[in-house]
Amino acid sequence: MNDNLLPEFNLEYLATIADGDKEFMDEMIDMFLSQTPPQITSIQKAIVEKNYQHISQIAHKIKPTFTMFGLHSIKDSFTKIENYAQSGTQIKEIEKKLLSILPVLDFLYTRLRYEKDTF
């Protein structure tokens, strides 16, 4: 695997808010892994439907979760998606931005499963 895909990735913030509680960290990672893929699918469906309001809502809801893993650039990408959706006219930009994030998310899911098994 190429760690360069996730140069910012770290579990320091999650470990800090968990105060060393490995069970809590497991729960947070499990929640992320169970909720994020359906949210991404929901955004993809909303792109096809040009449902800007739904895109904006999901992007707004999902972006803070990336802070837990130090992934500020992905959070920023979802902020851009949210802003594009709020303008109601930039579906191609939304689609391009999401497509650029998808490979990183796939890698992140794999990396989180690995990290979860090692701590």
pTM assigned to the model: 0.88
Q: What is the pLDDT along the chain (119 residues), one digit of tens a residue?
A: 444 556 688 888 899 999 989 999 999 999 999 999 999 999 999 999 999 999 999 999 999 999 888 899 999 999 999 999 999 989 999 999 999 999 999 999 999 999 888 87
Contact 97, 42 (CB under 8 A): no
DSSP line for 41-91:
HHHHHHHHHT-HHHHHHHHHHHGGGGGGGT-HHHHHHHHHHHHHHHHT--H
Which amino acid belongs to residue 55? I
* The predicted structure's pLDDT at residue 95: 97
Report the distance separating Cα 33 and Cα 61, nearest Å. Answer: 15
* The predicted structure's pLDDT at residue 6: 66
* The predicted structure's pLDDT at residue 1: 41
For each of the domains in the chain, give its residue range(s) and CATH number, in order of start. 9-118 (1.20.120)
